[in-house]
Structure formats: C-alpha cells, structure tokens
Amino acid sequence: MNQKLDFFIVDDSDVNNYYTEDLLNEFDFTNSVTTFLKAKEGLNELIKRLNENARLPDVIFLDIRMPEMDGFEFIEELENELDDQDFGAKVFILTSSKHRRDVEAFEKQYIACEFLNKPLEREDLQRMITKHFN
C-alpha cells in the first residue's frame, strides 16, 4: 500500500483512544491520528474543513455512546451539513455495543460503512484498510 492515511478517533473514552492510537501507529499506512473526546469538537473540525474545502481525514472511528452528542447524532448533523454531497472520509462505528438498537440505527444511515466492536483488532484493521484503500 502506498497511500498514507490520516485518522480521526471520536470517542469519550480516553483509554480506548490510547489503545487505538497505539495500534494505528504500529502500521506504515498511518500518517496521523487525531483524537476527539467530545463528538461536538470532532464535528466542528469536520465542518470547518468542509467549509474551507480543506483536506478531510481518510478514516474516522466513531463511538456511539457519548455524553451530549452520541455517534448517531454526529452522523445526522454531518448528513445535514453535507446535504447529499459525497463525504470524502470513511466512517467506521467503533463501539462496545452489539445491541439491536444500535445495529438498527447503523443500518438506517449512509455515512458509516462498517460496524466494528471494541477493542479494535489488528486483523480487523488490516482487513478493512485493505478493503477500502487498496
């Protein structure tokens, strides 16, 4: 793989971010990792980049259950902002939930392309990078 990737992690659990960031940094395909403990801050950064036509991250790992704004609210706001244009970044749900409620909500939206469970496994990461970026 020749492409270098920029990652965003949106998750209020700093332990999980610590782990995921550490895992991503193991791989040569990782260019940068930016973490956001608050969904709103991650969203604002994306909206800012969209408005400025700046470079978007390649991959966003998004948690579901976070205070104030949860993962699906994040997606909804992003959908409103995009207004049917294509979103350049690949979004992956990264959650500890396997609950029907969350899986159904995932199936109803278009922004996120995969539903992954925590902790992110090395094999899962490699598989999905190969699938989406090769």
Partner 1 sequence: MRNAKNIPLKFLLLGFAFGMLFPLTGIVADCFIFNKLSFTWADISGQIANNPIHYIIFMAPLILGGTFYAIGWFAFNESRLNLKLTRTNTVMKETNELLDTFNYHVSHDLKTILNNQLALAKMSQKYLARKDTDKLEEIVEKMIGVGENGLATVAHFLVMSKEGYLSDSESAELQFREEIYRILIESGCEDRIKVSFGKTDFEKLTIQPKVFESIFVNLLTNTIKYNNNKPEVTFELIKVNGGKHIIYRDNGIGIDMDKYGDKVFEPFQRIQNEQNQEGTGVGLFIVRKLVQAYSGKISLESKLGEGVKFDIYFPDLY
d(CA 24, CA 32): 9
- CA distances to 8, 10, 27 from 33, rounded to whole Å, are 6, 11, 12
d(CA 132, CA 12): 26
Nearer to partner 1, 67 or 108 (CB): 67
Tell whether residue 28 is a contact of partner 1 (CB under 8 A): no
Segment interacting with partner 1, rule: CB under 8 A, options 17-25, 53-61, 82-90, 126-134: 17-25
Tell whether residue 132 is a contact of partner 1 (CB under 8 A): no
d(CA 80, CA 32): 27
Task: Figure out which of the listed residues 49, 79, 115, 119 binds partner 1, where binding follows CB under 8 A.
Answer: 119
Tell whether residue 19 is a contact of partner 1 (CB under 8 A): yes
Tell whether residue 31 is a contact of partner 1 (CB under 8 A): no
Q: Helix 71-82 to helix 39-51 angle, to the nearest 10 degrees? A: 10
Q: How far is the CB of 106 from partner 1 (least distance, A)?
A: 15
**Type of residue found at 109:** Q
Which chain residues interact with partner 1 by CB under 8 A? 13, 15-16, 18-20, 22, 38, 40, 65, 67-68, 96-97, 99, 101, 118-119
